[in-house]
Amino acid sequence: MKIACIGGGPAGLNFAINMKLKDPHHEIDVFERNAHGVTFGWGVVFSDQTVENLARTDPETAAIIAAEFAHWDDIDVHIHGATITSGGHGFIGIGRKRLLEILEDRARALGVAIHFEAECGPDDPRWADYDLVVAADGANSRVREAYADHFGVDVDVRANKFVWLGTSKTFDAFTFAFEQTEHGWVWAHAYRFAPDCSTFIVECSEETWRGLGFDRMDQAEAIATCEKLFAKYLDGHPLQSNASHLVGSAAWLNFRRIKCERWHHGKFILLGDAAHTAHFSIGSGTKLALEDAIKLAEVLNRTSSSLSRSDGEGDRSAQLNGGGVTAGNASHPSTIESPFDGPPPHELRSRGGVEPLDLEAAMFEYVATRNLEVLKLQNSARNSTEWFETLERYLHFEPLQFAYSLLTRSQRISHENLRLRDRDWLEGVERWFWEKAGEPGKSAAPMFAPFQLREMRLENRITVSPMAMYSAEDGMPNDFHLVHYGQRSLGGAGLVFTEMTCVSPEGRISPGCTGLWNEEQAAAWKRIVDFVHANSKAKICLQLGHSGGKGSTRVGWEGNDVPLDEGNWPVMAASAVPWSPVNQVPRAMTRPDMDAVREQFVASVQFGIEAGFDMVELHAAHGYLLSGFLTPLINQRTDEYGGSLENRLRFPLEVFAAMRAAWPKELPMSVRISANDWAGDDGITPQDAVAIGEAFAQLGADLIDVSAGQTSTDAQPVYGRMFQTPFSDKVRNEGRLATMAVGNIYEPDHANSILAAGRADLVALARPHLIDPMWTLRAAAALDYRDIHVPPQYLNGQAQLARNLQREAEMAAANMRA
Ligand SMILES: Cc1cc2nc3c(=O)[nH]c(=O)nc-3n(C[C@H](O)[C@H](O)[C@H](O)COP(=O)(O)OP(=O)(O)OC[C@H]3O[C@@H](n4cnc5c(N)ncnc54)[C@H](O)[C@@H]3O)c2cc1C
Ligand SMILES: Cc1cc2nc3c(=O)[nH]c(=O)nc-3n(C[C@H](O)[C@H](O)[C@H](O)COP(=O)(O)O)c2cc1C
């Protein structure tokens, strides 16, 4: 093949090398706009894995690079005058300039022609001579911009300002230095990449940047200001820029997260930063670029018969129909005319080869495989980017927790990862956590630390999340409920929530919901509560709710939110907005309706006292009655209960205040909220959630149970591990409130990471507890935590499980060593 490559960065050069290694007959021309030896940036960091990936296809280059790496283990976090050092992080770094020199030498030796000072545009007539044009022209790719519609480009310009500088000061550790100024915080990410040189990236919010006058300074002034700000870390070494061509404040950038739906168009194929970017704070841009190049060379050198058609995720036909390799696809008009009128290069015959290449299949495999990697990294990178953008949230943390939060910010590094990296440091964090929990001197997993809410002391931080069981008749809990809640209380969780227990027959979701509107129900609940108290250390919290417009539906497993076939009862809600086209249109509540509902909640609280519950939760989430008041997606009232958030809060707060007045002062109450409607700015946003949490807290809520969604059938939730935890983090640390996180948290490691990082005070698990009532005891066995209360009847089982898990862990470690 004859291939042009626009851009002589890591992606373009590594692609050229890998093509030549696969088949020296390929003709590869690399066109680089810069002069030889001129490049932006300083050092880049890699992981061992990236070097291994390089070594698989090009051991010679990998060996040269590996020999030149600067290597370091420690991360130093400087904050509030303290330095927190943790070890075992294992970074390697190299100068960008040196990396490019190595790649250029190798490419030239393999016969690649590199043309410097060769600025190329997408419509360059010389492309007609090439079979393919690889656009490795970086984050500001002209090719990508020219066909932006076709590539389905999505650019997210991030909030903070940063500048990429260098210094002769050599940092022994990867250094994060946070400095307070009168205009806000400024921080540096610094690491050594050569014996005499370090990268020094300075970052701050735009507000601070303007406040410090960086927007009005030329480069020399800006550098002098940074030198002053970070003088104590630089030991007199100067800072330098190698972007001297950028005038004034232009050297400061806002990071642009780029992703593309399609990576190829006609002869053009996007590679590296041209196709995607990942925030510099997770240091993976060069890795992605190098690995894209390896994969692209691999698929282009495979014949049609050997290409995998099912590699990666996604529907191939959808991808190809959505733009594919066909030039000028009508559904994705190009912003400029494609220079390749006529048939696209569907089939390329390798020069000297016999079998044709199926370009469509090759592109499918390339994009599907790489996109998966990119999405994973971009997810982590987004978490990391947001951490720095919301830094203010964590500044009240003590330095140790601040450092822990920083290290785990991307959610790629967890509690147990940190233990593997630096056991002593992590045990120090655990000791600190237990001390804060009132047990100084103890060091164990955070999930087992006690937690106090008013006079209720929880044995540990794990809770069984509320889950409707749809197994009651006329609201009466029965033997199923006794066994269900009894068993979960025996399983070791510190707190067990009841399912949404309804305050009236009409307030039920389904005919199977439990209720608490009469003495018989109170007595039936008392039987359960008494069992829990007599046989376990768990506390039990009554969740009270009213279904509103989502009521009168089938039991969960016969169709969530689907109306009954017969026997429907009339429903009411904040507004006459049906949940879906098949649900009833609810009656918009009148003031007398509100009075009646408020009194029903109060009566249920009083029955809850009779039953002996330890805690009460008001369910104001998931689109049910009170949630329907909070969310503008359901609440369309024009009176004082609709419109502004203050108005929408009015009735839920009134209900809460009445409940609080009826519930004993010494016992805690919580409120469950949907912290995000997943409907953009039209619905509740996480920012609103902070205000909602604060409003309930002012009336005596001790804990905000931060759930999300289920408030609209049009919601667009973004699922993933611990996907709602960021909302708990926000409510907790911006509102300074105690919170409980929930949502796809299923491993002890998740719980410990969330708690130690201060993202929540309690961790709720729902589905994991459905299938494993003993989740907490099992975690205690796995983590060899012996102080948990085990029901005496089960002691032998716990001991055996702990032994077996210990043995399994030892065998796994021995296998790893072997
Ligand atoms: C502040 C900062 C810190 C970073 N730190 C790290 C890190 O620690 N680790 C890491 O892995 N990554 C890091 N990155 C990201 C990394 O620099 C990129 O992801 C990586 O360089 C991508 O390689 P690439 O070859 O795709 O693009 P680039 O390296 O941008 O290369 C593109 C090349 O194309 C050339 N070019 C562009 N347009 C044209 C044109 N029209 N004609 C001819 N030539 C053209 C450019 O001159 C350039 O040489 C960082 C990025 C930034 C901004
Ligand atoms: C079967 C089932 C029933 C549920 N019922 C309730 C409920 O009654 N009240 C409530 O607030 N949440 C309810 N939820 C939501 C859970 O409490 C929890 O927020 C959600 O399942 C996410 O947690 P998970 O990923 O650990 O399952 C229910 C979830 C399930 C799976």
Q: What's the pLDDT at 358?
A: 84
What is the pLDDT at residue 307? 60
pLDDT of residue 268: 96
Whole-angstrom distance, CA of residue 534 vs CA of residue 91 = 53
Distance CA 516, CA 475 (A): 7
Average pLDDT of the residues of the chain: 91
**What distance in Å separates the CA atoms of residue 163 and residue 230, rounded to the nearest whole number?**
14
Question: pLDDT tens for residues 779-796?
Answer: 999 999 999 999 999 999
Residue 37 pLDDT class (50, 70, 90 cuts): confident
Length of the chain: 818
Does 503 score more than 90 pLDDT? yes
Testing ligand 2's pocket by substitution, the residue of 462, 464, 467 carrying the most ligand atoms inside 8 A of its CB is 467
Residues 646, 656: Cα–Cα separation, whole Å? 15
32 lines ligand 1 (CB under 6 A): yes
Residue 764 CA, ligand 2 centroid: distance in Å:
10
* β-strand partners of 672: 619, 705
* Protein residue with its CA nearest to atom 2 in ligand 2: 467
Choice among 36-40, 64-68, 241-245 with the minimum mean pLDDT: 241-245
Q: Residue for token digits 């590869």?
A: 28
Rg from Cα positions in the chain:
30
Q: What is the mean pLDDT of residues 278-305?
A: 89
Nearest to 262 by CA among 323, 313, 318: 323
Is there an atom of ligand 1 within 6 Å of 11 CB?
yes
Give the model confidence (pLDDT) of 244-255 as tens digits.
655 666 689 999
Give the model confidence (pLDDT) of 514-525 as tens digits: 999 999 999 999
CA distance 282 to 668: 41
Which runs of consecutive H residues, i.e. helices, occur in 251-307? Answer: 285-300
CA distance 601 to 657: 11
Is residue 328 very low, low, confident or very high in pLDDT (cuts 50, 70, 90)? very low
Mean pLDDT for 705-734 is 94
pLDDT for the residue numbered 354? 54
- Strand order across the beta sheet in which 132-135 lies: 113-115, 27-31, 2-6, 132-135, 268-270, 264-265
Q: Measuring from atom 6 of ligand 2, which residue has the nearest CA?
A: 467
**Is the pLDDT higher at 633 or at 818?**
633
Distance CA(90)–CA(76), nearest Å, equals 13
The Cα 322–Cα 480 span in angstroms is 51
pLDDT in tens, 249-277: 668 999 999 999 999 999 999 999 999 99
Task: Among 31, 44, 191, say which to mutate for ligand 1: greatest number of ligand atoms within 8 Å of CB.
Answer: 44
Rounded distance between C-alpha atoms, residue 408 and residue 406, angstroms: 6
pLDDT of residue 42: 85
pLDDT of residue 318: 34
The per-residue DSSP string of 545-574 comes to E--GGG-SB--GGG-TTPBPSS-----EES
* Distance, CA of 9 to CA of 289 (rounded, Å): 9
Q: What is the pLDDT of residue 313?
A: 35
Cβ atoms within 10 Å, residue 654? 18
Q: What is the pLDDT of residue 340?
A: 37
Diameter over CA atoms, the chain? 88
* For residue 160, pLDDT beyond 50: yes
pLDDT digits (tens, 9 = 90+) for 631-681: 999 999 999 999 999 999 999 999 999 999 999 999 999 999 999 999 988
Is the model more confident about 214 or about 70? 214
**Residue 366, both tokens:** 């390339």
Pocket around ligand 2 at a 6 A CB cut-off:
465-468, 499-500, 543, 556, 619, 621, 672, 707, 742-745, 765-768
The residues near 430 (Cβ < 8 Å, ≥ 6 apart) are 443, 444, 445, 446, 756
Judge whether 624 counts as a catalytic residue: yes
462-464 vs 153-167, strand pairing mode: unpaired
Q: What is the pLDDT of residue 818?
A: 76
**What three-state secondary structure class fits 486?**
helix
Q: Check residue 326 and give its pLDDT.
A: 30
Between the two ends of the chain, the Cα-to-Cα distance in Å is 44
Q: Tell me the ligand closest to 742's alpha carbon.
A: 2
Nearest CA to ligand 1 atom 3: 280
283 lines ligand 1 (CB under 6 A): yes
Q: What's the pLDDT at 319?
A: 36
Q: Which ligand is nearest to the CA of 497?
A: 2
Please give the backbone phi and psi of residue 712, each rounded to the nearest 5 degrees, phi first.
Answer: -160, 145
Give the ligand with the smallest distance to the CA of 543: 2
User: Which of 223-227, 359-363, 429-433, 684-688 shows the lowest mean pLDDT across its residues?
Assistant: 359-363
Distance of alpha carbon 533 from the chain centroid:
38
Residue pLDDT, tens place only, 54-66 = 999 999 999 999 8
pLDDT at residue number 349: 53
Gap between the Cα atoms of 90 and 72, Å rounded = 6
DSSP string, 429-440: HHHHHHHHTT-T
Q: Is 77 exposed, middle or buried (0-12, 13-18, 19+ CB in 10 A)?
A: buried
- Name the active-site residue from 366, 485, 624, 785: 624
Q: Is the pLDDT of residue 308 over 90?
A: no
pLDDT tens digit sequence for 372-430: 999 989 988 999 999 999 999 999 999 999 999 999 999 889 999 999 999 999 999 99
What's the rounded Cα separation, in Å, for the pair 606 and 691?
29
pLDDT of residue 449: 98
Distance 277 CA to ligand 1 centre (A): 9
Ligand 2 mean position, distance from CA 144 (Å): 44
